[in-house]
Amino acid sequence: MNILFKNISKQYKGKYALKNFSSSLDNGVYGLLGANGAGKTTLINIFVGILKSDMGSIVVDGMDTREMGLDFLSHIGYMPQYPRFYKNFTVYDFLLYISTLKSIPSVLAEKRIKELLDIVNLRDAAHKKIGALSGGMRQRVGIAQAMLNDPDILILDEPTAGLDPQERIRFRNLITKFSGNRVVLLATHIVSDVEFIANQVILLKEGQLIKQDAPEVLMQEIEGKVWLVSANDKILNEKAPHLKISNMYRENQCIQLRVIDDHKPAENAVCVSPNLEDVFLYYNSEGEQW
């Protein structure tokens, strides 16, 4: 499967939410990373047809999605950033209802729902009302409903919001297993969600694509630009206010700064291997100022 985004633009009141976004996606997991307001949801909403772009087109396996009509929808599974549920429905009934909307035959739907309840670890909650679930459990119902039709293209907008660490790991493993011969597009600003599972990271900044590559390539590109600095008073007072700091922690009497800089930021700075969070900050932020 191949998805081509061709020059997608969208403006709100004269301001670009998405500007000339072009990208090609083959099977695999894609992490759509960007700061708040970068345009992730706008792109996804255009992709799933909730929003019309001002310009551009999306081509799936050589066909314009606008020409595919409802057939396109049968290929996708989608979980919105803020899924809405019928709180009086039980988990099982809600999934059955969504199956009906997706025209999944009932015998097949029942089997699939049972599988998915196991996958998202909600079997014991199957007959609980959605209104009585925790936020993280509801989130898992959202993930399950997106996967009901066994989609070729799975689009998840901030899927791990509210999940505890164990469920996050479970989610990542689930996506890896699921993604074999499909496209999974996962929008987030939580870097660790995609660091270990994304085949490619798509970095969005202010509506524009700034990088698309494998995480290890992106990390390699900023090799030599991430430093650990043991901060004495002089560094803290004079230098730190001007540094892009991705992390700081106290070690004994000293504060250790993780600094992103094209040049060695201090005499005692030691160059360290970049991680994806450094990449995100390198392109996206001014860093935490001291």
Ligand X SMILES: Nc1ncnc2c1ncn2[C@@H]1O[C@H](COP(=O)(O)OP(=O)(O)OP(=O)(O)O)[C@@H](O)[C@H]1O
Binding site for ligand X (CB under 6 A): 12, 17, 34, 36-42, 81, 189
Report the residue number, 4 or 190, with the smaller CB distance to ligand X.
Answer: 190
Report the residue number, 41 or 90, with the smaller CB distance to ligand X.
Answer: 41
Tell the residue number behind the tokens 């106290």, with chain if given. 250
Report the residue number, 41 or 275, with the smaller CB distance to ligand X.
Answer: 41
Report the residue number, 16 or 97, with the smaller CB distance to ligand X.
Answer: 16
What minimum distance in Å lies between the beta carbon of 139 and ligand X?
15
Tell the residue number behind the tokens 């699921």, with chain if given. 178
What minimum distance in Å lies between the beta carbon of 189 and ligand X?
5
Closest CA to 85 of 41, 44, 143, 42: 143
Report the residue number, 187 or 222, with the smaller CB distance to ligand X.
Answer: 187
What minimum distance in Å lies between the beta carbon of 259 and ligand X?
26
Secondary structure (DSSP) of 87-110: TTSBHHHHHHHHHHHTT--HHHHH
**Contact criterion met (CB below 8 Å) for 227 and 265:** yes
Report the residue number, 23 or 42, with the smaller CB distance to ligand X.
Answer: 42
**Contact criterion met (CB below 8 Å) for 181 and 29:** no
Angle at the Cα of 127 (from 121 to 142), degrees rounded to 5?
50
Count CB-CB contacts under 10 A for residue 177: 9
Report the residue number, 19 or 114, with the smaller CB distance to ligand X.
Answer: 19
- For residue 221, how far is the Cα from the chain centroid? 21
User: What contacts 62, CB < 8 A, 6 or more positions away?
Assistant: 2
What minimum distance in Å lies between the beta carbon of 32 and ligand X?
8
Dig out the tokens for 101 from the structure: 């909307």
Dig out the tokens for 149 from the structure: 């039709």
Total H helices, total E strands in the chain: 11, 14
What minimum distance in Å lies between the beta carbon of 89 and ligand X?
27
Q: Residue 156 corresponds to which amino acid? A: L
The DSSP bridge partners found for residue 184 are 29, 154
